[in-house]
Homo-oligomer: A and B are copies of this chain.
Amino acid sequence: MFRAEAHLNLAFQALADPSRRAMVDRLVQGPATVSELAAPLAMSLPGVMQHLAVLEASGLVVSEKIGRTRTCRIEPKVLTQAEQWIAERRALWERRLDRLGQFLDETKDD
């Protein structure tokens, strides 16, 4: 199995949770501290930390600790990879439909 595939596992897994998507939603607006990420979530701080760990393991988010605060930000590469995986499959599916329609047109006067 390839590294890219393992990354997709982690990325899609990370995006499957609504709390983590909310964290991503926040981070696309700009960097945030752990507390800022936690504020809107009805969850303990360690719970948020664990979600953050999942996001970091997937490569969707990176963070850096300065003093006593950790600042998190989006790393768009993996987001793009996940998007592209889907886009490619959708393109293949649509291409097949096109061929099918073309075939039906060509043979409709039988």
Contacts and interface: CB of A to CB of B under 8 A. Distances in A.
A49 interface: no
Contact of A96 (B28, B79, B85, B96): B28
Interface stretch (A7-15, A62-70, A102-110): A7-15
Interface residues of A, number: 32
A83 B90 contact: yes
Nearest to A13: B16
A6 to B, nearest CB: 8
Contact of A89 (B1, B5, B28): B28
Contacts of A44: none
Closest 9 CB pairs of A and B: A12-B16, A13-B16, A83-B86, A12-B15, A28-B92, A28-B93, A28-B89, A12-B12, A74-B93
